[in-house]
Amino acid sequence: MAKQAPGVRIDGLTVVYKTPAGELPAVRDVTLTLEPGTITGIVGESGSGKSTMALSLLNAVQPPGRIAAGSVEIDGLGDVVGLRGEELRKARGKHIGYVFQAAQNSLNPLKTVGKQLLDLGRSHGVDDLRGLVREAKELLGRMGLDGARVLDSHQHELSGGMRQRVGIMLALVLNAHLVVLDEPTTALDMITQANILKIVREVHAERGLTTLVITHDIGVVAEVADRLAVMYGGRLVEQGPTRHVLGAPRHPYTRGLIRAIPRLVGDIAEAQALPGRPPTLATVPKEGCVFRERCPLRMDVCDTVDPEAHADGARAVACHAVTVKEHA
């Protein structure tokens, strides 16, 4: 059966965590479409809700968290927010390949990587286990590892960077056509990072995948993503084609993120750290704009009205100051 790159429509997604102060949103009213066959990058500082959103794509948010509102429609699966039990288990792995942020530590310490690969294959009804092993070795080889040796290894025998590549292999090996990679390269040095992302891009193109890459480093996705979505305080503040977002960022947060990365600015002397810190669940403003505390363009309206995403062709920006300027 020929599988095709699925489209994904996230609509009005809100995910909350139960805290001593009640249920607080980590992702709030996020609407985002992943077009079939594209790579979308989600960027934002730590704590902005990226991993929580990634987990929602698999309906894998665990207590004390829960999806409080919205839907995640995936072609061929329907709204995953409604999937339960066995249906959900089958969807993960075979339809949706994923590397969770904790992938480095998610291998079973007692079993070799090869044994875990076979378990994964069996649990998804793969008949040709030899083929699966061949495929795994190939993927590991492409990422610069000795496949046979890695499959014979236990987790503790692998470096952080090697484990991360094993995680990517496991996300790709079942041939899922939707792939979610959450901080897939953070344990790697810059050059290895670039190489691995190049391979992700190649495999994406060869197989016709829909891919979501999540990172706190906008420089990491600059070269691989077709589209970028920028998150802050659980809100999606800007999205659009990568070259537009990087070339002409509109939201002051996106501008700040880009200014902080020397290799995007082009000159290390010009890079400027974004002042202040991102909010936590407890400190995210309950009304008004989530970014206003750090915003150079803050206006009175920002204190009381949460800006809606304003679409302009392929771009969308949620900022009062930017909208005012456009309409002036």
Judge contact between 226 and 36, C-beta under 8 A. no
| Min dist. Cβ of residue 52 to Mg ion (A) | 8
Task: Examine residue 235 and tell whether it contacts ligand ADP (CB under 6 A).
Answer: no
Residue closer to ligand ADP (CB basis): 6 or 279 = 279
Task: Return the number of the residue (51 or 59) whose C-beta is nearest Mg ion.
Answer: 51
The DSSP secondary structure of 230-284, one letter per residue, reads EEETTEEEEEEEHHHHHHS--SHHHHHHHHT-HHHHT-GGG--PPPS----TTTS
Residue 17 binds ligand ADP (CB under 6 A): yes
Least distance between Mg ion and beta carbon 160 (Å): 16
Which entry of Mg ion, ligand ADP, none binds 233, CB below 5 to 8 A by partner kind? Answer: none
Smallest gap, in angstroms, from Cβ of residue 231 to Mg ion? Answer: 10
Largest CA distance in the chain: 64
Site string (56-95) toward ligand ADP, x via CB under 6 A: --------xx------------------------------
Rounded to a whole number of angstroms, the distance between the first and last alpha carbons of the chain is 54
Residue 274 contacts ligand ADP per CB under 6 A: no
Q: Strands 210-215 and 22-34, how do they pair? A: unpaired
Token pair 């704590």: residue: 47
Among candidate residues 213, 191, 175, 25, the one with its CA nearest the CA of residue 94: 175
Contact 152, 116 (CB under 8 A): no
Binder to ligand ADP among 8, 13, 16, 26 (CB under 6 A)? 26
Residues within the interface to ligand ADP (CB under 6 A): 17, 26, 44, 46-52, 64-65, 280-281
